[in-house]
Amino acid sequence: MIKQKKILPIDKFIDIALYDKNYGYYSKNNPLGKNGDFVTAPLISPLFSEMIFIWVISYWIKIGKPNKFSFVELGPGDGSFCKTFCRILKRFSEFEKSIKIYLFEKSEKLIGTQKKNIKSKNVVWIKNLNEIKNGPILFFGNEFFDSIPIKQFIFKKKQLYEKYIELDKGKFKKFHLKKTSIKIKKELDSLDLIKKFKLIEYPKMGLEILKKLIKKVKKYKGGILFIDYGYLQSKGIDTLQSVMSHKKNKYFNNIGKADITYLVNFQLLKKFIESNSLFLNEIVEQSFFLKKMGISERAEILSRKMTFKEKSDLYYRLERLLSEKKMGSLFKVLFANSENLKFNLGFK
C-alpha cells in the first residue's frame, strides 16, 4: 500500500508504518535502548518498575488477596519492566501463587526479545484480550496509548475535514483534506472535541482498545493503570512526533524506520472512562506518583552501599524520571477501577 500511489487517512498510514507484519517499524526493529530510537522508564532505572510492583501488590491486598489475579502488561517493549517485576515477585510467595502475568504484544520481533529477557512460569504471551478468562484483572500500560495511531481533523470555513496523507512510490508527497461524515462529527461532539480549536486529534483506534479493556474490567472486576506522556488541557495543536536514533524525525519520512507517537489527551481519556461507568482517581504527574510511592527513599537506601560512580549514575537516572524538564511532569498517571475502591496510593 505504501509503495503504490495512495492517499490514506493519518491513522491508517501510521498503522501500516508501525505495525505492518513485514515492513512495519515494530515488526523489524528493536526500538528501545541505547542502540535503538528511544528509552522508556523501565530501561532508565529498575526503580521505576519496583515502584509499580509495590503499587500492584498493594492493589492486590486492597481487593482482598484474590486467589486468581490477572495482571496484563500492554505493549511490554523489550520486557525490562516484566523482568524486574518477576525478579521481585519471587520474594512474595503468596502473591506469586495468585498472579498470572499476560504480555499483550503484536510484534513478533519484540516477543522474541521479551522471551530472551523473561523466564517465569507466571508469564504468558497473548495477542487477543479474549484469552484472559479470569479476574480480577489489572491492565497496565507504560507508553502504550501513545503508540496507537490517531486521526487528525481540521476546521476550515466552519467545515470539518479529515487529514489524509498522499504517498508516491513509498514517499510523502502532500496532505489532503476530505470532508467528514455526520457520524464522525457526532463521535467527536460526544467527546467534547469539537470546540474552538482548528486542529483536533482523535485516537479512534485507541478508544476502541480502551473500550475492550473497560468491558473486561467490568466483567471480571479490576482496574486500569496508564502512564504516558501527554496533557490535561486540550491544546488544539499537532502533537504527532517521530524519533529515529534518539533524534527528531518528520513522521512522514523514513517510513517503517522511525517511531511515530503523539501526546495523549488525558482529559479525553478521563471523559471516556467515566462515560463507561468506571471510577477514576485524580490524574497526577509521574514525579508526584513516584515520589509518593517512595522512590527517593528507595534510592537513598540503595546508595548507602554504592561507590561514588554508582551513586552518581543512580541519581542521574532518578533525575530523568522525576525532573520537570525531563519525564517528571510531561508523563501523567491515570488509574480507573470497576468499583469505588478509594485506593489512592500514589495519587494523594
- Per-residue confidence (pLDDT) for residue 243, from 0 to 100: 84
- Per-residue confidence (pLDDT) for residue 269, from 0 to 100: 95
Q: Is 72 helix (H, G, I), strand (E, B) or coil?
A: strand
Q: Parallel, antiparallel, or unpaired for β 264-265 and 222-231?
A: parallel
Rounded to whole angstroms, how far apart are CA atoms 72 and 90? 18
Report yes or no: 285 and 328 within 8 Å, Cβ to Cβ: yes
Report yes or no: 330 and 229 within 8 Å, Cβ to Cβ: yes
Report yes or no: 150 and 204 within 8 Å, Cβ to Cβ: yes
- Per-residue confidence (pLDDT) for residue 235, from 0 to 100: 75
Q: Is 143 helix (H, G, I), strand (E, B) or coil?
A: coil
- Per-residue confidence (pLDDT) for residue 38, from 0 to 100: 63
- Per-residue confidence (pLDDT) for residue 100, from 0 to 100: 97
- Per-residue confidence (pLDDT) for residue 194, from 0 to 100: 81
> Among positive and negative, which fits the CA dihedral 195, 200, 206, 208?
positive
Between helices 80-89 and 46-62, what is the axis angle to 10°?
60
CATH architecture assignment, domain 19-148+203-337: 3-Layer(aba) Sandwich (3.40)
At position 150, the amino acid (one-letter code) is I
Per run of 10 residues, the mean pLDDT along the chain (length 348 residues) is 76 91 77 62 92 98 97 94 96 97 90 92 94 94 94 89 88 90 90 83 95 96 96 86 85 88 94 94 94 95 91 91 89 95 92
- Per-residue confidence (pLDDT) for residue 257, from 0 to 100: 87
- Per-residue confidence (pLDDT) for residue 230, from 0 to 100: 94
Q: Could you tell me the residue ranges of all domains in the chain?
A: 19-148+203-337
- Per-residue confidence (pLDDT) for residue 37, from 0 to 100: 59
Q: Which helix (H) or strand (E) holds 187?
A: helix 182-190
- Per-residue confidence (pLDDT) for residue 48, from 0 to 100: 95
- CA-CA distances (angstroms) from residue 148 to 21, 108, 262, 263? 16, 17, 9, 11
- Per-residue confidence (pLDDT) for residue 336, from 0 to 100: 96
- Per-residue confidence (pLDDT) for residue 262, from 0 to 100: 94
Q: How crowded is residue 44: how many other Cβ atoms within 10 Å of its Cβ? A: 18
Note the pTM of the prediction, 2 decimals.
0.92
**DSSP class of 180:** P
Q: Is 173 left (phi over 0), alpha (psi -120 to 50) or beta?
A: alpha
- Per-residue confidence (pLDDT) for residue 80, from 0 to 100: 94
